[in-house]
A and B are shown apart, each in its own frame.
Chain A
Amino acid sequence: MSEELYKEMAQCIIDGDSDISAELARKSIELNMHPLDAITKGFVIGVNYIGDQFGKGEAFLPELVMAGEAMKAAVAVLEPELLKLGEAREMMGKVVLATVEGDIHEIGKTLVGTMLSASGFEVVDLGVDQPADKIIGKALEIDAQIIGMSALLTTTMVRQREVIEELDKEGLRPRIKVMVGGAPITRDWVEKIKADGYSEDAIGAVKIAKDLVGKGDQ
């Protein structure tokens, strides 16, 4: 019985169907399934599958985002149940995401956020045009392990360095790791500003984030 439900859970994520994922989450509660089992043995399997397919070029961005949304819908139903049980889902880590000051591009960053949440990270997405102090302030406030910064313009990517320099000045690294992304970012740039990681796409970002929190094997 459970096995079948797990399969359906994975499938509704693959199909990107938020209505069904929420419904199956409710069903699992009625059946007294442990919410963590529903997440890790059911829904997450679907997220991982779509991520793999995307990596191979066989799934596309809309599928990826829809899968992320469906995951979010399921977790929204299951989280209150976990609290009732006095448990919390063990998160991969906490991430603050932002597009740097002066830059208003955010499609890529939002995708990274969706995939990180779907993969078990707690994500606070500050949005666009965020100055260094705000980004760092939020990271300290929630005790984030990772700051992820996006910049689409060569003129704004320098802001990524400002945030890193600020973190260094305050002695906050390596406690807070920094991931950067965006079209103009090159490996040279990443090395130059001494960021901890960067990725080509949202799926790669999940892998980098897991590595940075020492959970690369999960």
Chain B
Amino acid sequence: MQPKLTLLSDEIIARILEEAYELLRCPGVKVQNPEARDLLAAAGAIMYPDNNVVGIPEALVKKALESVPREFYLYDYDGNPTVHYGGDSVHFDPGSSGITMLNPETLEHDTTETEHLIRLLKVAEQLPQYDAQSTAVICHDVPKEIQDSYRLYLTLLYSKKPIVTGAFTNKTVQEMIDMLVLFAGSEEAARAKPRAIFDVCPAPPLIWSNFGAGNLIALARAGVPAEIVSVPLSGAAAPVTMLGTVTQHTAECFAGIVIHQLAHPGSPIVWGGAAAIFDMRKGATPMGAVETAMLDCSYAQVAKTLGMPTHTYLGATDSKLVDAQAGLESGISAMVGALSGINMISGSGMLDFLACHSAEKLVLDAEGIAMAKRMIGGVKLHTDTLATGFYDDKINFKGGDFLKQKATMQLFQKEQHLPSSVIDRDSTRAWKAAGSLDAFGRCKLRVIELLASYRRPEIDPEKENRLHAFILDLAKKCGLEELPKLEDFQPV
């Protein structure tokens, strides 16, 4: 039995859905993309041309919910289905789109470039706790116009895992889809076994921007999975109450699903978000706040009553360092996400309100994720009798008796998660002998080990070279003659 955390009653969920439908009718949703408006108008939505607001009838939502897939998979490079969107499956990936990275020596937040993304990819690739990679940071050493495509390019070169990514414009989403098609071999292959999912954000409150809605349409038509990342901020860009925020989140997701399914019914889309409260002292959006985790747990519960696959942003911290606050906020929120049965939980590795990434934090968070996954593994029945079978004639009432049992050897690794060297369980003597390191110190060592043991996966050289040529062509179009040199890959 997978343990579950639920915060809402069925009655409250029914009211959330009811009021979300009401919000879609009035005040309606601002849709800033002309093609999306055309699709909605043709489907019978009420159009207010003066301000691009669209009233979406309940019937349109219900129709969209009928055609949307209840589950689908993301595939790794070798074509294995390794991420399951649907039901109560739980996966984690590193947070996306950081703009700085913690320098473990100077503790400065360095502006991210190619080397930083590669460092994160290498570390996450070797940690089994991360079922998917993300295009984790923006590389500021390439022009803005290709920054989103370029990080997908690096991720495809350095990883075999499925990828959580996103595009920054309606033009680049198509380029990124083309890159995936190039790697998959054909449009059909890319659709049949999607490697990547694209985060697409509405703007709170109740706005689907030109870029957001445009992305939804392009992804739906290509059959590439889309993940709605609705970001209501309680008390600022959404009602101050949790239930009000979750209701707005529901309406924003509904509107996105309608646009998406109108563009291509049956294309995969995920009910996701990065909801947060708005901190009234600092005007910040704390990702480590317990209320943020509560909002996510709540909206996931709403999604599950509709049978939708789910996503959220948890496992991150607002601390600037990999310190005690980072550990507790990330660990607690990862646990809440896992107990909520959310299919993809993004955010690990991230500090400073999702602005800053850290490889050291990725290895720390992997331990929190392992604990959360162990938790949802639940308490299992492994033996015919619960205990009596363990007390055979060899028991001589000594403390170590059970260490001598075959069952102990066979079952201890099923019952107990064995943490990595990041978690200290040494005696004080051994801890001192190992340098009296704190968790951050141990994380630094683990990152060094992982960077040393990394080998770039074997990828079809023809695909790699074509991908390189594709991205180089994009770079040249915006005035960059040469891409940053990569240590592990030399194009032919």
Closest B residue to A182 by beta carbon equals B427
Task: Please state if B404 and A65 are interface contacts (CB–CB under 8 Å).
Answer: yes
Closest B residue to A19 by beta carbon equals B406
Q: A60-B412, A66-B406 are in contact. Are A111 and B400 (CB under 8 A)?
A: yes
Query: What's the minimum C-beta distance from B402 to chain A, rounded to whole angstroms?
Result: 9
Q: Does A61 interact with chain B (Cβ within 8 Å)?
A: yes
Q: Does A106 interact with chain B (Cβ within 8 Å)?
A: yes
The contact string, 1 if C-beta is below 8 Å from chain A, for chain B 260-304, is: 000000000000000000000000000000000000000000000
State the CA gap A16–B428 with chains docked (Å).
30
Q: Does B380 interact with chain A (Cβ within 8 Å)?
A: no
Interface residues of B in 75-107 (CB under 8 A from A): none
Task: Please state if B399 and A105 are interface contacts (CB–CB under 8 Å).
Answer: yes
Cβ contacts under 8 Å, B429 to chain A: 185-187, 200
Closest 8 CB pairs of A and B: A62-B409, A65-B403, A110-B400, A107-B399, A62-B408, A107-B400, A66-B409, A65-B404
Task: Please state if B398 and A16 are interface contacts (CB–CB under 8 Å).
Answer: no
The contact string, 1 if C-beta is below 8 Å from chain A, for chain B 429-460, is: 11000000000000000000000000000000
Q: Does A33 interact with chain B (Cβ within 8 Å)?
A: no
- Name the interface size band of chain A: 10 to 19
Q: A62-B403, A65-B404, A66-B404 are in contact. Are A110 and B409 (CB under 8 A)?
A: no
State the CA gap A200–B428 with chains docked (Å).
10
Interface residues of B in 222-256 (CB under 8 A from A): none
Task: Please state if A61 and B403 are interface contacts (CB–CB under 8 Å).
Answer: yes
Contact of B409 among A16, A183, A185 (CB under 8 A): A16
State the CA gap A29–B400 with chains docked (Å).
32
Cβ contacts under 8 Å, A66 to chain B: 404, 406, 409
Closest A residue to B412 by beta carbon equals A62
Interface residues of A in 86-125 (CB under 8 A from B): 105-107, 110-111
Query: What's the minimum C-beta distance from B92 to chain A, rounded to whole angstroms?
Result: 25
Cβ contacts under 8 Å, B406 to chain A: 16, 66
Chain B contact residue count (CB 8 A cutoff): 16
State the CA gap A62–B408 with chains docked (Å).
6
Cβ contacts under 8 Å, A62 to chain B: 403, 405, 408-409, 412
State the CA gap A106–B399 with chains docked (Å).
7
Closest B residue to A188 by beta carbon equals B429
The contact string, 1 if C-beta is below 8 Å from chain B, for chain A 178-215, is: 00000101110000000000001000000000000000
Closest B residue to A198 by beta carbon equals B429
State the CA gap A61–B418 with chains docked (Å).
12
Q: Does A81 interact with chain B (Cβ within 8 Å)?
A: no
Cβ contacts under 8 Å, A16 to chain B: 406, 409
14 sample A-B contacts, Cβ–Cβ < 8 Å, listed by A number: A16-B406, A62-B405, A62-B409, A62-B412, A63-B409, A65-B403, A66-B404, A66-B406, A107-B403, A110-B398, A110-B399, A110-B400, A183-B427, A186-B428
State the CA gap A115–B428 with chains docked (Å).
23
State the CA gap A95–B121 with chains docked (Å).
53
Interface centre among B408, B409, B428, B430 (most CB of A within 10 A): B409
State the CA gap A200–B412 with chains docked (Å).
22
Interface centre among A60, A62, A65, A111 (most CB of B within 10 A): A62
Since A66-B409, A110-B399, A186-B428 are in contact, a sample of 15 more A-B pairs with Cβ atoms closer than 8 Å, ordered by chain A residue number, is A61-B403, A62-B409, A62-B412, A63-B409, A66-B406, A69-B404, A105-B399, A107-B399, A107-B403, A110-B398, A110-B400, A111-B400, A111-B403, A183-B427, A185-B429
State the CA gap A65–B409 with chains docked (Å).
9
Cβ contacts under 8 Å, B413 to chain A: 60
State the CA gap A23–B424 with chains docked (Å).
41
Query: What's the minimum C-beta distance from A218 to chain B, rounded to whole angstroms?
Result: 26
Cβ contacts under 8 Å, B405 to chain A: 62
State the CA gap A199–B431 with chains docked (Å).
14
Task: Please state if B399 and A200 are interface contacts (CB–CB under 8 Å).
Answer: no
State the CA gap A162–B429 with chains docked (Å).
23
State the CA gap A74–B48 with chains docked (Å).
88
Cβ contacts under 8 Å, A60 to chain B: 412-413, 418
State the CA gap A60–B405 with chains docked (Å).
13
Q: A106-B398, A110-B399 are in contact. Are A200 and B427 (CB under 8 A)?
A: yes
Interface centre among B400, B403, B406, B428 (most CB of A within 10 A): B403
Cβ contacts under 8 Å, A63 to chain B: 409
Cβ contacts under 8 Å, B399 to chain A: 105-107, 110
Cβ contacts under 8 Å, A186 to chain B: 428-429
Closest A residue to B411 by beta carbon equals A62
State the CA gap A105–B405 with chains docked (Å).
20
Query: What's the minimum C-beta distance from B418 to chain A, rounded to whole angstroms?
Result: 8
State the CA gap A200–B403 with chains docked (Å).
19
Cβ contacts under 8 Å, A200 to chain B: 427, 429-430
State the CA gap A187–B432 with chains docked (Å).
11
Cβ contacts under 8 Å, A183 to chain B: 427
Closest B residue to A57 by beta carbon equals B421
Cβ contacts under 8 Å, A65 to chain B: 400, 403-404
Interface residues of A in 35-77 (CB under 8 A from B): 60-63, 65-66, 69
The contact string, 1 if C-beta is below 8 Å from chain A, for chain B 385-419, is: 00000000000001110011110110011000010
Query: What's the minimum C-beta distance from A203 to chain B, rounded to whole angstroms?
Result: 13
State the CA gap A198–B353 with chains docked (Å).
49
Closest A residue to B428 by beta carbon equals A186
